Every structure is written in structure tokens, then in C-alpha cells.
Amino acid sequence: MKNKNGRRWRINLAREKAAAAAAPDRLSDLPNDLLLNILERVDTVDAVKTCILSKQLLKLPAMLSQLYVSISSFSTSSPGSVIRANRAVARVTDNILSTRSPEITIRRLKIRFVLKLHDSRSIAKSVVDAMATQKIHSAELEIITDKAFKNSSPDDLVQSGRQFNTFLGACPDAFACLTRLWLRNMRFGELDIPNILTTCKCLEALRLSNCDSGVISVLRVEHDQLVELHIDYGDFERVELIFLPKLQRVSYVFNNWASSSYKDPMYFGIAPQLSKLSLTRTGIHLDKPLELSQLLANVPSIDDLHLDFRSEKIWVLPECRELLMPVLSKLLYLSLDNLPEGCDIAWTMFILEGAPSLKELCIMVRDHWCIMATDKEYRRANGYCEKEEVKWKSLASDFKHRNLVKLTIYGFQPDDNFVRYIRRVVEVAVKLLEISLHDRNVCGKDCADLNPEINVCPSRYPRTAEERKQTTKALSLASRAKVHFWS
């Protein structure tokens, strides 16, 4: 019986292989333009593996206009995996770039690898050689360390910074042609980051994640070509954007603030094209409130503003219309994220009063337990605040806003806090057309599952047709604005 079963299995397997060989190759029948569009949406290594399946597809890897080679395509949890994977990134990068036709332009080249000097130099050489023989519109390096930030000591961060400086000094030609650079988990000397910017002459986007120049350091940025700047944490006490004539987008997730001896944690010098600004901060008791009228005094061109409060203290100071209008006159889009639950949101009207051109206002209310400190002793020791209302009173009882067309609220609950707020917005926004109401925005894993001791109030978001009808009725809208509920 055992032999019969084994023989039957082999016969079935042979039949399946024969059927597969005889079946039409539908993937190969697709036009090249469509196939390339599909392949360029995945890691280049995965795209190459896919093309091996068919003779007709083997020519496509050399025709890709977007290339992304990442260590994550090779790395596993086995011992020595990072070293082998990094070497694979260097080898594959060289193979792909050295075998391409110079007639096919590379619109975007991105390489993600671990900072290991030998492999890094090999990758840099491949990029320089490709730049010399091919057209590459955008070249990006994402350089990570073999230790995650949470596992890194201050000495580890300093060592990584030194290794990068050695890499930069050994391969200046590669960095001179870069358009995008992302560095992770490094601590530099005071002049190192300015030196990086000087070397990267063509740089258009810089991202620093958990990078700084020491605890309570100051970052001064000057660059002729930089368009985007992203800073995720790091122990900078202050970031000074001195001269950035082409800068358009800035995103900054603060680490230090309360200990700052400066009036503001950021300074905007010459940045005439800056239009999009995102600031994220976990506010604590000692934080001085941020005054937008002072912070944005030199950049009145902002049209898209995003403020994230991470479900803690509101760290922005409500100011009067006369102070805000000079800096917010061009603001079109405003997002206020992670406002703490249970607190009055009426204070947010102050920006509406100070931004006469605003078209869309989006508010997210939630207690985001994944990022909040929940231990009572830890909160007390580190200056976290209990929830408190933000004191603000409109001085313009007859105020009307003539450009707002859309109000979006995530975390809507049918209580007085939200109902009164929506009524007030509808009252002043004479051209409001759409009110979009969403339930709480939760993570892929519900935040409430992280700690069973957290007492989370169940959502009362209206889901049935009758509940939504009653909610709409409670809003008592006399305008033409339409209310949309989104599950």
C-alpha cells in the first residue's frame, strides 16, 4: 500500500508539471509596459525572481526604470544573516547596474543597506559607475545600523556616526550625486551634519531618524537644493533652518523641548518656498506653549499644516486672529491629530479664525495607547500631565469664515462636545459643503488589547441608519452641508 501511494503521488506530480508546462503563460502575454508597471511596485530583487519564471520575462529587469534593492530582501534571523544580506545587496546592486543599457533612464534608484564599510564602499562605487554611464534622475541611499535604536547605547550611536564619516570621506563622489539620503541611529560631531550637506551637493531630500549631534545640541541647516527635510526624534534642542531657498516640506518629531533655553524649538530663516509643515510632540507639564505667530513669522507661505499631540498635553497656544492672520493667511489644509479624548475641542477654532483661506479642517480625537505612557509612577516622574481643558474664548462673536468647505472628524462621538463644536463650525463657515464623521482611528492591533488594566470607554459612534438619523437631527444643521458617516 505504501509503494502504491508513493507511486500514485509521483504520477500526480508528473501530471501537474506537464499540465503547467502545457498551460498558456498569461503573464508573459501582457504588454511590456503593463508588466514593468507591476514589477516596479515591488522590491527589485522580487521582480527579478518573478522574471526568472519565464523566458519572455528575462529581458524585463534590464528595462526597469525604478530600482529598489533592500537588505530586507535577503536578511533572516539566523546568525550572520545581516553580514550575508549586506554583501548580497552590494553584489546585486553591482550586477543590476553594470548590465543595464545606458539608453534606458533610471527614474529612481534606492538602495537600503547596513553601514558596513567594505559593503558600503562597493555600493557607492556601483552608484558612481552607473552615474558616469547612465541617466539616473534620482539616487537614494537609506543607511541603517546593525543595532536598532532601542538596543543602542550612546557609545554605539557615536561609533555609527564615526563609521559614516569614514564612509563619506572615502566616497565623496557617490554622495555628491545623491538626491535623497536617509540616515538612522547615528550621533555626529557638531560640524558633521553641515559637512554632509556640503558634500551632498545635489541633495533634495534629507531624513534623519534618531540622529543628533549630542544631547541638547543645535542643528543648523543650509543648502541650495534641499526640498524636503524630515527629522524623527534625536536629541536636538533646537533646529535652525538658516538658508534653504528651495525648501518646501518639513516634518519634525520632537524629542527634547521642555529643557530648551530658547524661545522656540525651531527657527525658520530664509525658506521662501516652505509650504508644508508637520510637527509632532508629546507635551509634558514643563513645556512652554508654542506660539504659531512667533514660530512662523518668517514663513507666511505655509498652506498645509499638521500638528500631532500624541494624545497628551496640547502644546500650542491659542492666539487671537490679529496675531495669526499675518502668518496663516495662505493656509489651505489643517490637520490636528491625536487630541486627547474627553477634552473640549472648541479651542481649535482659534486657527479657523486666524486662517481666512482655510479650505479643509481635519481633527482626530483618540487616546492612542500604543504610544502613551500608562504607568502612573513613570508619568509623575517624567512630568506628564493629567487631561485638562485648553482655555480659549473667541473675541469675534460675529466671525464668519468664507472659504472652509470640508470638516473631517476622526473619533466622533454623539455627545455635547462634538455636537456643539460642529454646530459652531457650521454657524461660522458659510460655504461649508461636507461634514465627514469617522469612528476612532485604531491601530492594526487594537490599542486596548495592550494593557487590560486600561479602562477604555466603548465607542458610541452611530452605525445603524436610525442612529445616524438621530445624530444628524441633533446637529440641527440649517446649512447645505451634507453629513457623511464612515464606518
Q: What is the mean pLDDT of residues 460-466?
A: 94
**118 occurs within a structural domain:** no
Q: What is the mean pLDDT of residues 450-475?
A: 86
Q: Which helix (H) or strand (E) holds 308?
A: strand 304-308
**For residue range 63-121, what is the model confidence (pLDDT) as tens digits?**
888 999 999 888 777 768 899 999 999 999 999 898 888 888 999 999 999 999 999 99
**389 occurs within a structural domain:** yes
**343 occurs within a structural domain:** yes
pTM for the model stands at: 0.89
Q: Are 273 and 229 in contact (CB under 8 A)?
A: no
CATH number for 290: 3.80.10
Q: What is the mean pLDDT of residues 153-163?
A: 96
**341 occurs within a structural domain:** yes
Confidence of residue 452 (pLDDT cuts 50, 70, 90): low
As a whole number, the mean pLDDT across the chain is 88
Which of 165-169, 256-260, 316-320, 366-370 is least confident? 256-260
> Of 408 and 399, which is predicted with more confidence?
408
Q: Are 6 and 32 in contact (CB under 8 A)?
A: no
pLDDT for residue 396 is more than 80: no
**For residue range 7-61, what is the model confidence (pLDDT) as tens digits?**
554 555 455 545 545 444 566 677 778 888 888 888 888 888 878 877 777 888 8
Domains in the chain: how many in total? 1
**179 occurs within a structural domain:** no
pLDDT of residue 443: 76
Q: What is the mean pLDDT of residues 201-205?
A: 97
**For residue range 113-147, what is the model confidence (pLDDT) as tens digits?**
999 999 999 999 999 999 888 889 999 999 999 99
Which of 71-75, 187-191, 355-359 is least confident? 71-75
Apex 74 CA angle, 207 and 97, nearest 5: 70
The grid coordinates listed for 443 are: 491601530
The grid coordinates listed for 438 are: 469617522
**76 occurs within a structural domain:** no
Q: What percent of the chain has pLDDT over 70?
A: 90
**78 occurs within a structural domain:** no
DSSP 235-269: -EEEEEEEE-TT--EEEEE-S--TT--SS-SEEEE
> Of 13 and 280, which is predicted with more confidence?
280
Give residue 286's domain range.
275-487
pLDDT of residue 9: 45
The closest of 282, 281, 314, 238 to 383, measured between CA atoms, is 282
pLDDT of residue 80: 80
Q: What is the mean pLDDT of residues 466-480?
A: 88
Helix (H, G, I), strand (E, B) or coil at 72: helix
pLDDT of residue 2: 46
The grid coordinates listed for 324 are: 495669526
**456 occurs within a structural domain:** yes
